[in-house]
Copies of this chain bind each other. A is one copy, B any other.
Amino acid sequence: MSEAPAHRLDLGRRQRLGMIEAIWGEHKSASQIARILEETQAAGELALATRVSEDKAEAVQQDLAGSMDIHWHAQARCLTAGPLPAIDPTRGRVAVLSGGTSDLPVAAEARLALACHGIAAELVLDVGVAGLHRLLQQLPNLEQADVLIACAGMEGALPTVLAGLMPQPVIGVPVSVGYGVSAGGAAALQGMLASCAPGLSVVNIDNGYGAAMAAIRMLALRGAADRGRPSATPRC
């Protein structure tokens, strides 16, 4: 039997939704990723591959042998191919908070995904609620942000405390850091969904990319009255 062709990209996503499609790297081989990057480049689109280990990133770079401008972002565990756009300060600002040092990869993925769309994001790390003063000291800084992304593992209480203090949209990202009942991030996820703070919304465990895309949808509301949105007419 012949082997099957392996992918069918959704290159119309930017026009339809105002976002690029991310390549989920975890279950793909270096060769599969390299082929997708070639196709994306041929279409003139920036590529972002998430959840790519250092080894796999090197294999992709070797496979493509310098034919493309590829960068591996160590903290975010992501590959980008093509130049990142310049940051456009008129599109608003995002603050990405994390409870502890171990949440950094997820927070960095969110920041990078925003940068791929030209949006400024600041990392505010190690503000977990077991040492509450660390968060309270950041409040004046956080007032400047349009959207807050809060990444936390363990019991995941950071977004709850944050959403009780600040009026902006808060997106909770549970992180798969912990052990025992918090292993895999399930306790953090449930804690964020069960939150007594009003209007906190949540994405999947470790989904920094998804939180960034949710923020992009929200930021498009800024000055909605006087500026066009990406066309909402579906292409199907």
> Residues of A with Cβ closer than 8 Å to B?
1, 3-10, 12-13, 16-19, 21-22, 24, 26-28, 32, 36, 51, 73-75, 84, 92, 99-102, 104, 107-108, 111-112, 115, 123, 125-134, 136, 139-140, 142-143, 146-147, 154-157, 160-161, 163-171, 174, 176-207, 209-226, 229-236
Contact between B202 and A194, CB atoms less than 8 A apart: no
Contact between B24 and A102, CB atoms less than 8 A apart: yes
A-B contacts, 29 of them at CB < 8 A, read A1-B112, A4-B108, A4-B123, A6-B104, A6-B125, A10-B130, A17-B199, A92-B221, A129-B161, A129-B164, A129-B197, A132-B161, A132-B165, A133-B236, A154-B196, A165-B234, A179-B204, A179-B207, A181-B193, A181-B204, A182-B204, A187-B187, A188-B194, A193-B202, A193-B204, A198-B213, A200-B214, A201-B203, A223-B224
- Interchain residue pairs A-B with the least CB separation, the first 9: A180-B205, A199-B213, A8-B126, A182-B194, A133-B236, A201-B201, A10-B131, A157-B157, A27-B102
Contact between B22 and A198, CB atoms less than 8 A apart: yes
Residues of chain B lying within 8 A (CB to CB) of residue A222:
221-225
Residues of chain B lying within 8 A (CB to CB) of residue A7:
101, 125-126
Contact between A101 and B6, CB atoms less than 8 A apart: yes
Q: In the complex, A207 Cα to B6 Cα: how many Å?
A: 20
Q: In the complex, A4 Cα to B111 Cα: how many Å?
A: 10
Q: State the number of copies, please.
A: 8
- From B21, B165, B186, B223, contact of A223 by CB (8 A): B223
Contact between B164 and A201, CB atoms less than 8 A apart: no
Residues of chain B lying within 8 A (CB to CB) of residue A84:
1
Q: In the complex, A44 Cα to B232 Cα: how many Å?
A: 37
Known: A155-B156, A181-B204. 18 other contacts (CB 8 A): A1-B111, A3-B75, A4-B107, A8-B125, A32-B101, A36-B101, A100-B196, A129-B157, A130-B163, A140-B233, A157-B161, A180-B184, A181-B193, A183-B184, A193-B202, A199-B216, A201-B214, A223-B223
Q: In the complex, A232 Cα to B122 Cα: how many Å?
A: 18
